[in-house]
Amino acid sequence: DVKVTQSSRYLVKRTGEKVFLECVQDMDHENMFWYRQDPGLGLRLIYFSYDVKMKEKGDIPEGYSVSREKKERFSLILESASTNQTSMYLCASSLWIRGRTGWDTEAFFGQGTRLTVV
């Protein structure tokens, strides 16, 4: 069974704090993703990474950064937390099948971190 584990289920942080959300997967997946989930907005891609030390901006990267020093770990960093970053954060990983064009595969999700910024 693929396991994607997020370090915290619930977090409460103060405005201006630097916040680290950690995600670890145990299936040697190349791709890792960070999404935030808000009612009516679905899953919005913040950042993704297709290899160690590689990162790509998603649709809403402002106010966030990421780190992927090891293949199994992908960290999301809120440089200075603000109340509009209160949300559910979901990490996911997927296997990339190499080929002429390459194929993505099923993304497995972590259990989510509900972050509240006060």
Partner 1 sequence: GENVEQHPSTLSVQEGDSAVIKCTYSDSASNYFPWYKQELGKRPQLIIDIRSNVGEKKDQRIAVTLNKTAKHFSLHITETQPEDSAVYFCAASSNDMRFGAGTRLTVKP
Using CB under 8 A as the criterion, which residues of the chain lie in contact with partner 1 when the complex forms? 31, 33, 35, 40-45, 48, 50, 56, 58-59, 90, 92, 94, 96, 101-107, 109-112
Q: Which is nearer to partner 1, 27 or 41 (CB)?
A: 41
Distance between CA atoms of residues 20 and 14, nearest Å: 13
Q: Which is nearer to partner 1, 61 or 63 (CB)?
A: 61
Closest by Cα among 11, 2, 61 to 36: 61
The first and second tokens of residue 56, run together, are 């790509």
Minimum gap (Å) between residue 85 Cβ and partner 1: 19
Q: Which is nearer to partner 1, 63 or 96 (CB)?
A: 96
DSSP 8-state assignment for residue 72: T
Distance between CA atoms of residues 65 and 58, nearest Å: 11
